[in-house]
Amino acid sequence: MDKARDYCGVVGVFNHPDAARLSYFALHALQHRGQESAGIVTSVYDEAKRRRVMPVHKDFGLVLDVFDDKSLFEDTLVGDSAIGHTRYSTSGSSTNPANVQPFVTHFQEGHLALAHNGNLSNARALREALTARGTLYTSSSDSELILHLAAQSEESGVVPRIIDALHQCEGAFSLVILTDETLIAVRDPNGFRPLALGRLPAAPGREHPGWIVASETCAFDIVGAEYVRDIEPGEILVIDRPGVERVGEGKTPEAVAGFGGVCMPRRHGVSQCVFEYVYFSRPDSLVFGAMVDKVRRRLGKRLAHDAPVPLVKKGEGKRPLVMAVPDSSNTAAIGYVSESNKMGRRCKLDIGLIRNHYVGRTFIAPGQSSREQKVRTKFNTVRGVLKDRIVVMVDDSVVRGTTARQLVKMVREAGAKEVHFRVSSPPVANPCFYGMDFPSREELAVNAHGSVEEIAEWLGVDSLGYLTVDGMMDAVETAHESRDRYCHACFSGEYPVPVETGVVKEENDW
């Protein structure tokens, strides 16, 4: 897809002497969820101050760059619990560090740090109520609202306050919260964003295992943690002691066990983000109970039926060449090709686009219109593969369509005889109010250029085929997760949670 980049990645570690270091590796594994800034907070007892403190280090940049000083882990980020965050934001020109997460605050019950992936759909109402009570904001983030709600709660005790605060939130919030004594993992009742629990081997000399929560399970693999289960939609899991060996693995809210915690009521049913499967999550992650790459392969297979390869009979010419737009569409393309061949639509998988992996954030295009150059800086066509061939490009999604259009142009320049475009998801037609940063409705290809035929013409392709919403949901559905447990609002316009009317993205970006 062409760059609906947003989201965040979160991680939390409990009861491990290397909490910050493990968070660092985990954040690195989650780097695809946000490349703009990174941060880690730990909780540690300060001998000199005779109380717990929360050292923090965060900055703009990639995880490996923000934490490129070894002494951070030795001198600053000590302690055996930690949370971390990696984030993409659209306000690139800003140099204000106030929005870089995790947020670290202090209130009457002690310290409170929070890292958030998602978007509150009732943020405006919450903000208005808080504002009327004299609340002062230091960031423009929804996430700060949750902290204020906890601080102003009439409950007493840090955990009851947080539970109270979360009950007032609507929308998408996969959270990790660090208090002086506990690590809290939260998934909103709809379960929009993923969040999983893992177990770390007990550190040398420790009796009990450590615990880790992260946006995706690929973060567990890098630190050698074992996947235990997902945080359930609506679950507030309070990890407050190491001595728990098994954590309830039941799939109902009632079955939260092991650690403390409660479940929030589900007002709108479960509605997990299907776009995590389509594009966002890493293929090697287990998300919403399924391996992402498997779902993606099924999307590709279904696409073979819904938008088949052009038919070229034996003897009538070379088989059409199917190529992925790397890297996010690789798996779908494999499924597409294998299913097509099974269906008797002869075709061949090949690599027609090479992605340059040295493209960092510092790209400048001195003295030239940069858009086209930027795509050329990132991709190159393989002429020998494409020349004189019927080419079928498989992409995971089309949002704005501008990158796709540029790639089609390059594929044609490389000599392709025909260019067909296949998308392993339906057209993105609606904004997301649950955490994904799509461009404005007007900029979406489907709105800017009209019907599928009109988009095809604008893209410059011989044919264009999408998955239908139904086709996509067929592919996503599994034995244990029925199709009605997903949100596909960006494709279908069916929003599972009512959104405040007229919300615009930047309204809180004071």
For tokens 């004189």, what's the residue?
388
Query: Contact, 55 vs 13, CB < 8 A?
Result: no
Nearest distance from C-beta of residue 382 to its own copies, angstroms: 4
- Asked if the bond preceding 240 is cis, omega within 30° of 0, the reply is no
Cα–chain center distance at 19: 23
Q: How far apart are CA 230 and CA 24, in angstroms?
A: 21
Give the residue among 167, 169, 159 at the shortest CA–CA distance from 237: 159
Nearest to 165 by CA among 231, 242, 255, 105: 105
Q: Which is nearer to its own copies, 286 or 469 (CB)?
A: 286
Shortest distance (Å) from residue 54 CB to its own copies: 8
Nearest-approach distance from CB 504 to its own copies, in angstroms: 10
**Residue 212 corresponds to which tokens in the numbers above?**
């880790």
Confirm whether 8 is a catalytic residue: yes
Nearest approach, Cβ of residue 31 and its own copies (Å): 4
Nearer to its own copies, 56 or 172 (CB): 56
Determine how β-strand 390-395 pairs with β-strand 418-423.
Answer: parallel
Integer Cα distance of 381 and 383 in angstroms:
6
328 annotated as a binding-site residue: yes
DSSP per-residue codes, 340-370: HHHTT---EE---EEE-TT--S----TTS-H
Provide DSSP, 447-470: HHH-SHHHHHHHHT-SEEEE--HH
Packing angle, helices 402-413 and 370-378, rounded to 10: 70
Q: Which is nearer to its own copies, 38 or 472 (CB)?
A: 38
Can you tell me the distance from the alpha carbon of 335 to that of 353, in angstroms, rounded to the nearest whole number?
18
432 carries a ligand binding annotation: yes
End-to-end CA distance of the chain: 30
Q: Which residues on neighbouring strands pair with residue 116, listed in sequence order?
A: 175
Q: Is 487 annotated as a binding residue?
A: yes
Residue 9 vs 209, nearer CB to its own copies: 9
Half-sphere exposure of 380 (CA within 13 A, CB side): 8
Catalytic residue among 8, 218, 263, 347: 8
Task: Please give the Cα distance from 387 to 129 (Å, whole number).
Answer: 62
Contact 428, 4 (CB under 8 A): yes
User: Would you say 218 or 394 has its CB closer to its own copies?
Assistant: 218
Residue among 321 and 428 whose Cβ is closer to its own copies: 321
75 is in an annotated binding site: no
CB of 394 to its own copies, least distance (A): 14
* The amino acid at 491: F
* Tokens of residue 188, six digits: 């909103």
Is 396 labelled a binding residue?
yes
For its own copies, the closer of residues 219 and 237 by Cβ is: 219
Q: CA quadruple 146, 152, 156, 158: dihedral positive or negative?
A: positive
Name the strand (E) or helix (H) holding 407: helix 402-413
Annotated binding site: 273, 328, 395-396, 432, 487, 490
Catalytic residues: 8
Annotated binding site for [4Fe-4S] cluster: 273, 432, 487, 490
Annotated binding site for Mg(2+): 328, 395-396
